[in-house]
């Protein structure tokens, strides 16, 4: 089966009846909206590149052989059969960021959520007589065969963070089952900041926290089209995005693809037919599903952020060239330090693959210790990168004039004269590269803050690392006691 084309994807998204709101207004034509078109184009570009691989190279980063369809499928929809699969998927994210510099959540997250639900439903069916895994395999075949864009929705809005789902004053602050019908279930709640939800064809929903028996109505997982009745999308509106309503291409830094494009997804009593329900009250399996998803998505995001840092290194190096100091030693050292700290995160993520393991269901998953260390360090390196790039590029990053200024008959000439850097470099290009740095450092995008929280805030990784030590500490203590010459009952 040939994979889908870019045009086919865009046509499909345009044809959907997705209910999206942005800046207080309904979005009727998503592909005409300045805050969604770049995100759609980024996904479109990924489809186009996948097509090229199919044409030219046989199996590679973009595609894999699915044992479930018996055919070539998108890497983003593939269930990781081997260590090599996981490594290819990992590398793919970094490579793609070099091209889009933004977010392709509508493809990226699907790998994590599909693999996590795959392995969890397998385990659930092993321990009970449920048929969740069978249902899921059917859904998986559907998206693989049609090469659909699939978003994953985990994060609830969460209300009072000191309370469990069932303890909230408003029970809807975590998504939950409000009714069980003969043919399916009805759910209510909201999933926050879901990357690519409005520009995907399907959304797979999972819980966002471990649950006890009190919270069994919150133990729910399912798949649903993005434009299903009762689903409402509210667009994110970070400060830099708002300028998309008034600015010009040159002002955006990353004009083609540079909008994150996530939405808050509200489920207003949405009906889910049984065949698309993958968890329905099995609270004891929620923690494992959350952890599996977290490990996989932290791996993806570590790769993605390495790509962002590569761009930042490149952009800062170009800015230094344009300023005439590209070969200055302190510039080169700062860039090498950033590369150093960038690669230690990427390297540690590679280690998580190298020491990964197969689950009972046959999914190859990363080592939780190393993937959590990698994600935590990767975010630190993003912030270090913003400081380094801002340092190298200079204060002009925050005081640039606009495309309209540069285009003006008289003012434009003044800008062209005085914002010039090194002889031979056009002023426009110098402004463009500084706009890209503005974008990458978060003043013109959401990169650092999104990096911090995407796939789990830093604290969540610290918890996992602490748990790992707890498992090893008695061994470490014993070794120390023996070495110190301590003998006794406790050794």
> Of residues 306-325, which lie at the interface with a second copy (CB under 8 A)?
310-311, 313-315, 317-318, 321, 323-325
Of the listed pieces 103-111, 146-154, 179-187, 445-453, which binds a second copy according to CB under 8 A? 445-453
If DSSP states are collapsed to H, E and C, what string results for 382-396? HHHHHHHHHHHHCHH
Taking the least distance from each CB to a second copy, the nearer of 16 and 237 is 237
The interface mask with a second copy, positions 26-65, x = CB under 8 A, is: ----------------------------------------
No. of helices (H) and no. of strands (E), the chain: 14, 14
The interface mask with a second copy, positions 250-269, x = CB under 8 A, is: xx-xxxx---x-x-x-x-x-
Kindly state the smallest distance separating residue 264's Cβ from a second copy, in Å.
7
> What spatial distance separates the first Cα and last Cα of the chain, rounded to whole Å?
62
Selected from 332, 358, 361, 362, the binder of a second copy by CB under 8 A is: 332
The arrangement of strands across the sheet holding 263-273 comes to 25-26, 20-22, 231-235, 263-273, 184-194, 176-181
Selected from 134, 273, 354, 357, the binder of a second copy by CB under 8 A is: 354
CA distance readout (Å), 283 to 30, 179, 201, 467: 37, 17, 28, 22
Taking the least distance from each CB to a second copy, the nearer of 126 and 467 is 467
Q: Are 113 and 152 in contact (CB under 8 A)?
A: yes
Quote the distance between the C-alpha of residue 376 and its chain's center: 15
Rounded Cα distance between 326 and 486, Å, is 59
Selected from 16, 45, 48, 449, the binder of a second copy by CB under 8 A is: 449
Of the listed pieces 8-16, 42-50, 269-277, 447-455, which binds a second copy according to CB under 8 A? 447-455
> Of residues 420-439, which lie at the interface with a second copy (CB under 8 A)?
420-423, 429, 432-433, 435-436, 438-439
DSSP 199-255: GSSEEEE--SS---GGGGGG-EEEEEETT-TTEEEEE---HHHHGGGT--GGGGSST
Side-chain half-sphere exposure of 119, counting CA atoms within 13 A: 28
> Of residues 462-481, which lie at the interface with a second copy (CB under 8 A)?
462, 465-466, 468-469, 472-473, 475-481
DSSP 88-153: HHHHHHHHHHHHHSS--HHHHHHHHHHHHHHHHHHHHHHHSS--HHHHHHHHHHHHHHHT--EEEE
Kindly state the smallest distance separating residue 187's Cβ from a second copy, in Å.
14
238 near a second copy (CB under 8 A): yes
Selected from 214, 242, 269, 273, the binder of a second copy by CB under 8 A is: 242
Kindly state the smallest distance separating residue 466's Cβ from a second copy, in Å.
4
339 near a second copy (CB under 8 A): yes
Kindly state the smallest distance separating residue 182's Cβ from a second copy, in Å.
29
> Of residues 71-110, which lie at the interface with a second copy (CB under 8 A)?
98-99, 101
Selected from 340, 357, 364, 365, the binder of a second copy by CB under 8 A is: 340
Selected from 236, 259, 296, 305, the binder of a second copy by CB under 8 A is: 236
Q: Are 188 and 176 in contact (CB under 8 A)?
A: yes
Kindly state the smallest distance separating residue 471's Cβ from a second copy, in Å.
11
Rounded Cα distance between 358 and 82, Å, is 8
Q: Are 215 and 164 in contact (CB under 8 A)?
A: yes
66 near a second copy (CB under 8 A): no
The interface mask with a second copy, positions 144-173, x = CB under 8 A, is: -----------x-x-xxxxx-----xx-xx
Taking the least distance from each CB to a second copy, the nearer of 78 and 341 is 341
Q: How many residues bind a second copy (CB under 8 A)?
A: 156
The enclosing H or E element of 326 equals none
Kindly state the smallest distance separating residue 108's Cβ from a second copy, in Å.
16
Beta strands 176-181 and 184-194, pairing class:
antiparallel
Rounded Cα distance between 148 and 225, Å, is 11
């Amino acid at each position: 089966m040939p994979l889908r084309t870019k045009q086919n994807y865009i046509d499909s998204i345009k044809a959907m009846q997705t209910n999206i709101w942005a800046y207080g207004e309904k979005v009727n034509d998503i592909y005409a909206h300045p805050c969604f078109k770049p995100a759609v184009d980024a996904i479109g570009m990924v489809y186009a590149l996948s097509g090229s691989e199919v044409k030219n190279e046989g199996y590679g980063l973009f595609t894999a052989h699915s044992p479930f369809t018996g055919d070539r499928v998108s890497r983003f929809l593939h269930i990781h059969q081997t260590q090599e699969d996981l490594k290819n998927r990992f590398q793919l994210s970094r490579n793609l960021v070099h091209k889009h510099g933004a977010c392709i959540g509508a493809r990226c997250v699907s790998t994590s959520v599909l693999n996590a639900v795959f392995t969890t439903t397998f385990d659930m069916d092993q321990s009970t007589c449920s048929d969740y895994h069978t249902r899921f395999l059917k859904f998986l075949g559907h998206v693989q065969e049609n090469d659909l864009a699939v978003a994953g929705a985990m994060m609830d809005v969460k209300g009072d963070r000191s309370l469990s789902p069932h303890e909230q004053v408003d029970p809807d602050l975590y998504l939950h089952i409000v009714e069980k019908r003969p043919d399916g279930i009805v759910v209510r709640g909201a999933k926050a900041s879901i990357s690519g939800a409005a520009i995907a064809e399907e959304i797979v929903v999972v819980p966002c926290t471990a649950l006890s028996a009190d919270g069994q109505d919150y133990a729910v997982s399912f798949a649903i089209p993005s434009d299903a009745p009762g689903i409402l999308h509210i667009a994110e509106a970070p400060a830099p995005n708002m300028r998309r309503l008034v600015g010009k291409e040159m002002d955006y830094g990353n004009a083609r693809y540079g909008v994150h494009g996530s939405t808050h997804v509200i489920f207003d009593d949405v009906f889910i037919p049984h065949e698309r329900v993958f968890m329905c009250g099995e609270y004891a399996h929620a923690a494992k599903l959350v952890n599996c998803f977290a490990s996989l998505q932290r791996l993806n995001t570590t790769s993605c952020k390495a790509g962002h840092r590569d761009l930042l290194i490149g952009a800062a190096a170009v800015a230094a060239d344009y300023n005439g100091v590209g070969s200055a030693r302190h510039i080169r050292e700062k860039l090498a330090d950033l590369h150093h700290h960038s690669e230690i995160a990427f390297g540690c993520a590679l280690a998580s693959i190298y020491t990964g393991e197969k689950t009972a269901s046959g999914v190859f998953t990363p080592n939780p210790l190393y993937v959590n260390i990698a994600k935590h360090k990767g975010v630190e390196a993003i912030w270090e990168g913003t400081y380094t790039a801002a340092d190298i590029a200079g204060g002009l990053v925050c005081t640039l004039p606009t495309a309209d200024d540069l285009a003006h008959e008289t003012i434009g000439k003044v800008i062209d004269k005085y914002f010039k850097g090194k002889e031979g470099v056009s002023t426009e290009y110098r402004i463009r590269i500084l706009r890209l740095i503005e974008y990458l450092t978060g003043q013109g995008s959401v990169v650092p803050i999104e990096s911090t929280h995407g796939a789990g805030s830093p604290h969540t990784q610290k918890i996992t690392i602490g748990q790992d030590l707890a498992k090893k500490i008695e061994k470490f203590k014993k070794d120390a006691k023996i070495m110190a010459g301590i003998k006794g009952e406790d050794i």
